Every structure is written in C-alpha cells, then in structure tokens.
Amino acid sequence: MLGFLFSEKECQELEYMLRREMEELMLDLGDKRIDGVVKKAMEERYAIIFRMYGRLASPKELIKYVRNKPRAQHEQQ
C-alpha cells in the first residue's frame, strides 16, 4: 500500500481525471462491437478506478458511476 499527500487542487484534478476515465469506459462498455474478453478487462479496470474515485468523491457523486451487472452475468453466477 502506498500513501500520497495531495493538495486540494491536486485532489480536484485527480477526481476529474478519474471521472473522465470512468465515463470513457462506460461508453466503450456499451459498444456491441467490442469483444467479450476486452470488455472483461475493461470492467476490471472500471472497478479499480471506481474504488479510487470512491476515496475522493462524496457519496452523492459516487452514486452516479455505480454500474449494474448485465443480466447475463447475474444468471451465470
């Protein structure tokens, strides 16, 4: 585990970068042309970024980026 000290401005920038990355991933995950293996890797990346964002964002902001599992995944598990 690593620890970082960020200024308020740096925290805002990090939060902005994480939000933009999650938005990009959400768009790409909705693309039917992307292969399942690639989507799985993207979902794993999204989960990591979401957890990072959760350390900075308020619960109100965080809820905007919660993803539901696709129905097919619920049935497989």
Determine, yes or no, domain membership for 3: no
Stated pTM of the model: 0.81
Pairwise CA distance, residues 40 & 7, whole Å = 34
What is the tally of structural domains in the chain? 1
Residue 68's pLDDT is 80
Determine, yes or no, domain membership for 21: yes
Tally the residues of the chain.
77
Determine, yes or no, domain membership for 16: yes
Give the CA radius of gyration of the chain: 14
Determine, yes or no, domain membership for 71: no
Question: What is the average pLDDT across 36-55?
Answer: 95
Determine, yes or no, domain membership for 74: no
What are the helix (H) ranges across the chain? 8-29, 36-54, 59-62, 71-76
Domain that holds residue 42: 8-66
pLDDT in tens, 1-45: 888 899 999 999 999 999 999 999 999 999 999 999 999 999 999
Q: Does the pLDDT of residue 53 top 70, yes or no?
A: yes
Q: Does the pLDDT of residue 51 top 60, yes or no?
A: yes
Pairwise CA distance, residues 50 & 66, whole Å = 8
Determine, yes or no, domain membership for 1: no
